[in-house]
Structure 1
Amino acid sequence: MNENIVFREHTMTLIPLRGLAIFPYMVLHFDVGREKSINALEEAMVSEQLIFLTSQKEAEIDIPTVDDFYHVGTICKIKQMLKLPGDTIRVLVEGVSRARLREVIQEEPYFKAVLEEVEYLEEAEPDKETEALMRSVMDAFEEYVNVGSKVTPEILLTISDIEEPDRFCDTVAANMNLKPKQKQDILEIFDPKERLERLYEILLEEIEILEIEKNINMRVKKQVNRLQKEYYLREQLKAIQKELGEDEEALDEIDEYKERLVKMKIPKEIKEKIEKEIKRLTSMSSSSAEAAVIRNYVDTFFSLPWDKETKDKLEIKDAQKILDEDHFGLEKVKERILEYLSIRKLAKSMKGPILCFVGPPGVGKTSIAKSIARAMNRKFVRVSLGGVRDEAEIRGHRRTYVGAIPGRIINAIKEVKSKNPVFLFDEIDKMASDFRGDPASAMLEVLDPEQNKEFTDHYMEIPFDLSKVLFITTANSLSTIPGPLRDRMEIIELSGYTEMEKLEIAKRHLLPKQIKEHSLAEGFVKIPDKTMLDIINYYTRESGVRTLERTLGKLCRKAAKSYVENPKLNMVKVTSANLEKYLGKHRYSYQMVAEKPQVGIVTGLAWTAVGGETLSIEVALMAGSGKLVLTGQLGDVMKESAQAGLSFIRSKAKELKIDDEFHKNMDIHIHIPEGAIPKDGPSAGITMATAVISALTGVPARSDVAMTGEITLRGRVLEIGGLKEKALAAHRAGIKTVLIPKENEKDIDEIPHNVRRALKIIPVETMDEVLENILTAEDDKEDKNEN
């Protein structure tokens, strides 16, 4: 503490101030309304007219306690009191000296406290360091006044005449726009030199902030002036262009918009909205960015086919002929399209159906949509939805975004210039969702015949009628399509082609197309039916015909090379004998049935994405502790089916003449070959159970019988899917008899006639019926005789 500072004790009333701080030598007026503060004022006036003023820590507190105000403040002389309406008193005070609170001796009806008044002993002259600080503060305060322009410059003259450091510092602080906390920091420093240092620090910070504020204000002002100048120049330019006739093109464009709008047959609300946009365009400069946005919007509006549509070709025979020309098979699809055309012929206002073609890749889902458009004499438009994640892809972006465009639907309708095209949404099951929205949900309105009459794109913001559009969607699987979306569509399943269908497609469409694409003469490549079937069976494994088409393309390239090497060549004939020369070794081999029955081996049937397959399920028994080992990369459902089958066998052990204790002293290993390929599903349940029973009883299973069906713990055989593909696989493998669940009898009609004739299909309800048809005494004896 400075040796020149002494403290003198006083007792006087106290008033806490809200949001105010007062310095010595400072004159200030403020209003007093709190009852306790008024009592304190009245008491002070009776005595020496001195009062102790300090600041509250929180201005919001209405009834402060001792802990709610600072303990360092200023002793002030009351100069004047004026009563205002509403029991409020306006007080004018002058700061006398600093003081610190030692003790509050009374709180009611007003605060009364014992204070220690700060007094400074007279000094001859301030030391050099103090003098330097005062000059630095003075220079900084001058800069503060010049930069801030919130303090009158006349105050500088008053302050420059003050020589006492204490008074100088307080006067500067009193004339600055500081926060109450900053003022309190200065007030609590008793040593003048320390106070000068702190004040100088605050001044430098405030100057820096004021400089930044000044720069911002200048920049904003400059920007406003520039915009005003640009507006003025643009108006001048506009007037000059009009005078010179250079803006006539833009005016002609607006007149053209108005004429086209008058001729259009559209709802009144839409017409009013476009009129408003054209009016906005009229009042803008043609070179402004906003005018370009409006022009693009109006151009998009006029390019939409509001009243343009193609006339449907409703001759059923002609449509049937076109569909048959383009595609072999696909009877369900063709029948549905002909039904739609028949109804259109009777009812002109029918809404377009929403068809969903579901099936494996390459079966002609996309190409049949093109054929439908051709058969109906409609425009065709295709939008691929594979990988679409952004909802704006469907509904468009709002015009508030820079570079906003309509969604894919409106854009496609605009390009095709018809309001009733055949619209194909390809790969609808491949849509995804993320933080940008859920495009599948955006499709709900599009694919709902009750809602799409007023489809609203975010960019256009006006309804467009999609009810006359024939929407077709394609998917490989229904499982990934959300339920509400699937519910809006009519599902038509396209299963894989049979060998004979592939043969016909290859002969009628694929081979002629590849010969033409490779610039070969018609009929230059000859492939007999037997060779074509070898290509189908041994070089392609698919439900569709894409790989088959590529393979035929490879043959045509080989033929083209042969022709270039020998121009005299008239024809290239591909036979089973020279097939390997052109295509190499067989890529696939189909497992044929074993020649004789075997114990513990049963043929099952499975469905895959590329068609049906036969599964040879093998069972081996080993001495052990009752473990069940499953191999062949089986899924959880398939493993559970094996467990269910084993439980059924244990429950029927006596009837099957199997040792009751087999599950304790024997390990059972079930293996399904082609272990690298994942397998799942419940339809191999009866096959695995039969194989285990064959192994446990030692009775061979017939090799010419295949089966499919889910098993229950009671031995019931439940319904399965993919019967057509499984039957085709059985036929291809040389199977004579197929056991199917009784509930699948309804699906037998889907199996091609030639396959149905070649197979003996036996519906079964229980495992007893399955065992009767595959484990027989005759087979057992025959097997023993052969051994």
Structure 2
Amino acid sequence: MRDFRDAKAMAQTLRESLTTKTVTISHSESLELVSRMLGVADWNTLSAILHTERRETAAPAVKLKSSTAIYPAIPLRDFVPFPSATFPLFVGRENTVLALNHAFEGARELVCVIQRESAVDDPRLSDVYEIGLLSQLLELEPLENGTFKVLARGLRRVALRSFATEARAYQAEVVDVSEGAVRDARDLIRRIYQRFQDYTAAHGILMPDLWLFFDQTRDAGQIADTVATRMKLPIKDKYELLATLDPMKRLERIDALLDLSQRPVSADYAATKRRALDDADRRRHQYATLEHLLLALTEDAKASAVMRACDADLDKLRQSLVQYLDNELKHTVIETGRAEPTAAFRRVDQRAAFLAQEVGYPEVTGVNALVALFAETRSPAARLLAEHGVSRGRADKAIGRGVG
């Protein structure tokens, strides 16, 4: 037996064999049976023994005289990992599976390279970006469809010198890169801390440990990588963060991406927001709510097109919204003053800007605001959308077809 993968394979074979004889056991039970068959008390003990044996016999990566090294490699289609992050990889291509085998037989290190185009099935050097990530393999799990799930941890950036197949397995020749000196960036880090709080709030992300991390480190590059790992961005934008070697420049890029004031807003969506606020003022409501915004979105050219593509009757939706505003918000009527957007209104507006960034829109539109509204699941606006057949899934399909 070479390592824990063979023990897991034995457990899977045992489980399948028993199933054919109408004996059903769980995956964990099959692992325990295999452990006892091999004379070990339990699976945890066997796994630890096999991991220890693998570490003791691990062979180092091949070092070349030119200060480069050759590692097994995995091309990633739609994902950009960063140093210090732990991340899952789903592997199915034959060349990639073979590279995994070579990595597990060695020091469990491989290079993650990023494909320029996800549609390329057999990438070569010209099909991948120049900067990759040397990673440590932690765990491998076979999946029922014949592919594998791998847990890996990013170690450090490397520059590719070559990327090809050797004995049908991907491998890369790489050289370490210098990331430059770390300089004091307390003011910039403080600003990013504040802006990233807005980002996580807009996306509903709870990350208390991250705030502790911000308090304990002043490493500009590490902070930039930690934030970049958690941001949703087009692959090209994420890769640019990976390829920005200078820690200060990388931190400045993060700051710019988190700065919503720099996101252009379409003229139509700006008019839609103004219409929502004016409607709240006309009704003398103290607050402009998501229902005011949704009513305005029914007249937004792009957002209304998506709602119609979901088979929504916009006239009936407007009637429901007007009835809610007239009857349910009577207690918010004031004699004087302008309506203030509610916290939910502001969240949706913020989230719309981030969504536009994530999908690569050149400007924020009413479509982004409509999609952002679905996250406010407890709001009457989201409930009314659902009642009229407009769901996040149906909206995404319509947008995927080019509607709006």
TM norm structure 1:
0.26
Greater radius of gyration (CA):
1
Instruction: Give the helix-richer structure, 1 or 2.
Output: 2
TM norm structure 2:
0.49
Task: Tell me which of the two structures has the higher relative contact order, counting C-alpha pairs closer than 8 angstroms and 6 or more residues apart.
Answer: 2
